[in-house]
Amino acid sequence: MVQGYVQIAIFFAVVLAVVKPLGIYMAKVFRGERVFLTPVLGPVERGAYKVLRVRPEEEGQDWKQYAKSLIVFSLLFWVLLYLILRTQGLDPWNPRGFHSAPWDVTFNTVSSFVTNTNWQYYGGEVTLSYFAQMAGLAVQNFVSAAVGIAVLVALIRGLAARSGRSLGNFWQDVVRILLYVLVPIAVVGALVLASQGVIENLSGYTVIHTLSGGTQVLGQGPVASQEAIKLLGTNGGGFFNVNSAFPFENPSGFTNVVEMFLILIIPASLTYTYGRMIGSQRQGWAIFAAMAVLLIAGTVVAYVAEQHGTPAQHLAGLHTHAMDGSTGGNMEGKEQRFGIASSALFTAVTTATSTGAVNNAFESLTGIGGAVPFSNLGFSEVIFGGVGSGLYSMLLYAILAVFIGGLMVGRTPEYLGKKIGAREIKLVALGVLVTPLTVLLSAGLAAAAPAGTRSLYAGFTPQGFSETLYAYLSQANNNGSAWAGYTGFLQPHGPGNVGAYGISFTDLLGGLVLIAGRFLPILFVLAVAGALAGKKVSPAGLGTMRTDNPTFVFLLLGIVVLVGALTFFPAILLGPVVQGLSTRLF
Amino acid sequence: MRGLGKELRTGLIAVLAMTLVLGLAYPLVVTGISQVLFPGAANGSKVSFDGRVVGSRLIGQEFKGKAFFHSRPSATGYSGDATFFANVGPNSKEGREEVRENLAAYLKLNKPFDRGLTKADVPVDAVTNSASGVDPQISQANARIQAHRVAAVRGLPLDEVEALIDGVVEGRGLGVFGEPGVNVLELNVALEEAAPLR
């Protein structure tokens, strides 16, 4: 296992090395300063403002205007994506002549991609044309990520502002985030992946006459370009059904580490950007430290658990120990080129961030290994989390921690010198609790309603309960990974998709949960930003509770774990923990 | 302060322009560059034998019979165009049965050629479903067990087959990341070149 820990340690070291330079770069982008790409992209940026008819210097927005622009933008994209997916039969680049998925499945898919979730009830290669993947879904991978980052930037501006109400200009933020951050990194990432064997073409599916005389059809398509932004924007929706486990999406141990790197660099670096923009780097590192502790803990637990193997394997007489030339461990639902360590690391990284791409089958994880994705989602995606969304959610927790800390020592709570009043703490509490509440209500409804049980794969077992709970946990937290059995779209396993139909209850409930889990917290965050923007900053005194030292990191960790555990521990006990502690089969 | 009408107009232009730039220009430019710079990789890393394409280096195939190295078990019939996970849970009775059957079949196939082979020697990858259904690799331990059978059936010395295996081992990424594995299609192509069946 030593080699596995070395892989994990080197990966985190590489990510850590990027945090500062990328963090500084993004701070410059968000402040509208010159960066090294400005000579090339500056004219494009100015052209974009002209086309969009916005004058960002003159049009600072307060929180309501910022929210209005954001909602208009997201709503219009929702409508366009729905139209694209429902008129698929007319698309160019549709070599297999796919028709559209049913309306209910499309409702779910559209809501899923607009909210940066990429929960998928369909299998990409048997449902979608290349056109729908490129012009529909990949566009959402970019813009939903940009929206998440924009909300974070607005919140930081609210925290840092000395006076006034402006949180910046939404249109300017989105344009600059896309132009200077997401597109350049995605282009480089896509070309690196394509050079390593991730396919990137517009050819039809290829029929192969195999070496031993059979035939095999190979899916094709513009995968690399979508793969890069799928990870960079913490989206996670696979071009193929088995996502980053499919060799054409993730062909080697090297591409696997590139993909995990793309997932983490923006969420991790944003903590540095945050420190820089509020003028105290230590505040950024404090948040980073809290996130890193939870991510590393989750990775180690998953690795140890997966290396152990499963009760079903042991009872079948299989020896799951490592031997010369084999890693051993639970290789069910895993790929040889990733092995146990890189699969466990990917699992932790993709669920701690709100990515949800997978390189192994979650349903086949060991009980305790499976509890790691559950816990990561149960912490409301604040362990680095989605691009922008992870940090803005964590900042709500930070304010909550300050408030609770203030109650304990009997002082008026302050964060970054701003007094936290009744209005702010109410908004923060709502922002923190709305997602867990959505999960519990929807998962409870789905588990209790007869219509919900049609989506189960594993039936009324702990595994079946895990599937249901995880489906709504994943959708409400905008993650998008799945305990793959649970479905809202019954697709026969084969080309042509004949006889496929949607399960309306599951699709619609999921779609509403997706939207609630994304836009309600965003509105609360912007309202908090608006409430804080106009507040005066009082200088730190002797009695001020510091928020940049290990004590605060510990307090913040405690609050995150406490809220997550109090909300979800009973439910997680019924699913993965039962499976992890029991050697019974069912 | 901008009205809703102005916001809607800006929004509409943004939605259409971004779809053109991010949805068409971006993937088409990346496709163009990839097709020029890495045509082999961008088109599926195809493997040829005897003048014809016999598969992709990255996509595992089904191999039957005693004369070939076998890929890992697949829930999808090694499908390259309709993928799904096997979804065998950790405490599933069917999972136990499946592993049992796979173990028995593996021993039955290989034990006659490798007398000392026991359950305890069988590596996990040989009897568990891969994630993609088309895992192109098997572990080195798995390949070394199968080498006895393939060498005997093809009439090759064992060390020659083991040398072929070493020739198609794909190491860790940058020497560190992931696990080494043996590419089954490339190994079987190398076998066919060294000692053709027909």
A484 contacts in B (CB within 8 Å)? 84-85, 87
A126 contacts in B (CB within 8 Å)? 81-82
The pair of structure tokens assigned to A85 is 């997916």
Q: List CB contacts of A75: < 8 A, sequence separation 6 or more.
A: B11
Using CA atoms, how far apart are residues A398 and A110, in angstroms rounded to an integer?
A: 32
Cα angle A385, A391, A396; round to 5: 115
Of chain A residues 26-55, which have a CB less than 8 A from chain B? 48, 51-54
Where are the strands (E) in A373-521, listed by range? 414-415, 418-419, 489-490, 501-502
Closest approach of B12 to chain A, Cα-based (Å):
7
Question: Residues B28-56: pLDDT tens digits?
Answer: 999 999 999 999 999 999 999 999 999 99
User: CB–CB of B22 and A178 under 8 A?
Assistant: yes
Q: Which residue of B has its CA nearest to A585?
A: B91
Inter-residue contact A481 to A236 (CB < 8 Å): yes
Closest approach of A473 to chain B, Cα-based (Å):
19
- B137 forms beta bridges with B183
Q: Burial, A462: exposed, middle or buried (Cβ in 10 Å; 0-12, 13-18, 19+)?
A: buried
Closest approach of B36 to chain A, Cα-based (Å):
11
Name the helix (H) or strand (E) containing A476. helix A462-476
Q: Which residue of A has its CA nearest to B137?
A: A336
User: CB–CB of B82 and A125 under 8 A?
Assistant: yes
Mean pLDDT on A348-372? 96
Domain extents in chain B: 1-43, 44-194
Hey, is the C-beta of B104 within 8 angstroms of any chain A C-beta? no
The pair of structure tokens assigned to B174 is 């940058």
Across chain A, mean pLDDT equals 95
Inter-residue contact A399 to A427 (CB < 8 Å): no
Using CA atoms, how far apart are residues A437 and A69, in angstroms rounded to an integer?
A: 27
Nearest to A416 by CA among A543, A525, A517, A280: A280
Question: Residues A215-258: pLDDT tens digits?
Answer: 999 999 999 999 999 999 999 999 999 999 999 999 999 999 99
- B49 forms beta bridges with B52
Of chain A residues 315-344, which have a CB less than 8 A from chain B? 315-320, 323-342
Nearest to A486 by CA among A510, A456, A508: A456
Domain extents in chain A: 2-581
User: CB–CB of A194 and B120 under 8 A?
Assistant: no
Local structure of residue A59 (DSSP, 8 states): -
Helix (H, G, I), strand (E, B) or coil at A53: coil
The pair of structure tokens assigned to B58 is 């990255």
A73 contacts in B (CB within 8 Å)? 11, 14-15
A226 contacts in B (CB within 8 Å)? 27
Q: Which residue of A has its CA nearest to B66?
A: A212
pLDDT at residue A494, as a whole number: 61
The pair of structure tokens assigned to A327 is 């890693």
Using CA atoms, how far apart are residues A247 and B72, in angstroms rounded to an integer?
A: 14
Cα end-to-end distance, chain B, whole Å: 80
Mean pLDDT on A40-68? 94
A462 contacts in B (CB within 8 Å)? 91
B166 contacts in A (CB within 8 Å)? none
| Composition of chain B by helix, strand, coil, percent to 5 | 50, 10, 40
Residue A401: half-sphere exposure toward Cβ, Cα within 13 Å: 27
The pair of structure tokens assigned to B75 is 């829930």
Hey, is the C-beta of B110 within 8 angstroms of any chain A C-beta? no
pLDDT at residue B3, as a whole number: 86
pLDDT at residue A496, as a whole number: 62
Q: List CB contacts of A86: < 8 A, sequence separation 6 or more.
A: A100, A103, A106
pLDDT at residue B1, as a whole number: 58
Name the helix (H) or strand (E) containing B54. strand B52-56
Q: Which residue of A has its CA nearest to B191?
A: A211
Of chain B residues 24-83, which have a CB less than 8 A from chain A? 24, 26-27, 29-31, 33-35, 37-38, 41-45, 49, 52-65, 68, 72, 76, 78-83
- Give the C-alpha distances (Å, rounded to integers) separating A27 from A84, A391, A532: 35, 14, 20
User: CB–CB of A52 and B13 under 8 A?
Assistant: yes
| Composition of chain A by helix, strand, coil, percent to 5 | 65, 5, 35
Nearest to B129 by CA among B176, B175, B72: B72
Mean pLDDT on A46-66? 93
Name the helix (H) or strand (E) containing A208. strand A206-209
Mean pLDDT on A402-426? 92
pLDDT at residue A452, as a whole number: 86
Hey, is the C-beta of A142 within 8 angstroms of any chain B C-beta? yes
Q: List CB contacts of B69: < 8 A, sequence separation 6 or more.
A: B63, B138, B143, B146, B147, B150, B182, B184, B187, B188, B191
User: CB–CB of A585 and B93 under 8 A?
Assistant: yes
Inter-residue contact A168 to A542 (CB < 8 Å): no
Local structure of residue A138 (DSSP, 8 states): I
Question: Residues A483-511: pLDDT tens digits?
Answer: 877 899 988 766 666 778 899 999 999 99
- A216 forms beta bridges with A208
Inter-residue contact B197 to B187 (CB < 8 Å): no
Inter-residue contact A24 to A275 (CB < 8 Å): no
Q: Which carries the bigger pLDDT value, residue B197 or residue A336?
A: A336
The pair of structure tokens assigned to B80 is 């390259």
Inter-residue contact A222 to A198 (CB < 8 Å): no
Inter-residue contact A65 to A171 (CB < 8 Å): no
Instruction: Note the maximum CA span of chain A.
Output: 80
Residue pairs between chains A and B whose CB atoms are closer than 8 Å: 412
Using CA atoms, how far apart are residues A86 and B19, in angstroms rounded to an integer?
A: 17
ipTM of this predicted complex?
0.97
Hey, is the C-beta of A163 within 8 angstroms of any chain B C-beta? no
pLDDT at residue A230, as a whole number: 97
A449 pLDDT more than 70 = yes
B23 contacts in A (CB within 8 Å)? 134-136, 138-139
Nearest to A353 by CA among A280, A298, A307: A298
B10 contacts in A (CB within 8 Å)? 52-54, 69, 72, 171
Nearest to A423 by CA among A61, A59, A164, A63: A63
- B177 forms beta bridges with B173
Give the β-pairing of B169-170 and B181-183. antiparallel
pLDDT at residue A354, as a whole number: 94
A542 pLDDT more than 80 = no
- Nearest-CB residue to B177 (from A187, A342, A366): A342
User: CB–CB of A247 and B33 under 8 A?
Assistant: no
- pLDDT by position in tens, chain B (length 198): 578 999 999 999 999 999 999 999 999 999 999 999 999 999 999 999 999 999 999 999 999 999 999 999 999 999 999 999 999 999 999 999 999 999 999 999 999 999 999 999 999 999 999 999 999 999 999 999 999 999 999 999 999 999 999 999 999 999 999 999 999 999 999 999 999 986
A310 contacts in B (CB within 8 Å)? 90-91, 95
Of chain B residues 151-180, which have a CB less than 8 A from chain A? 170, 172-174, 176-179
Mean pLDDT on A107-135? 96
User: CB–CB of B44 and A319 under 8 A?
Assistant: no
Where are the strands (E) in A39-197, listed by range? none
Cα end-to-end distance, chain A, whole Å: 30
3-class SS letters over A498-514: CCCEECHHHHHHHHHHH
Closest approach of B179 to chain A, Cα-based (Å):
5
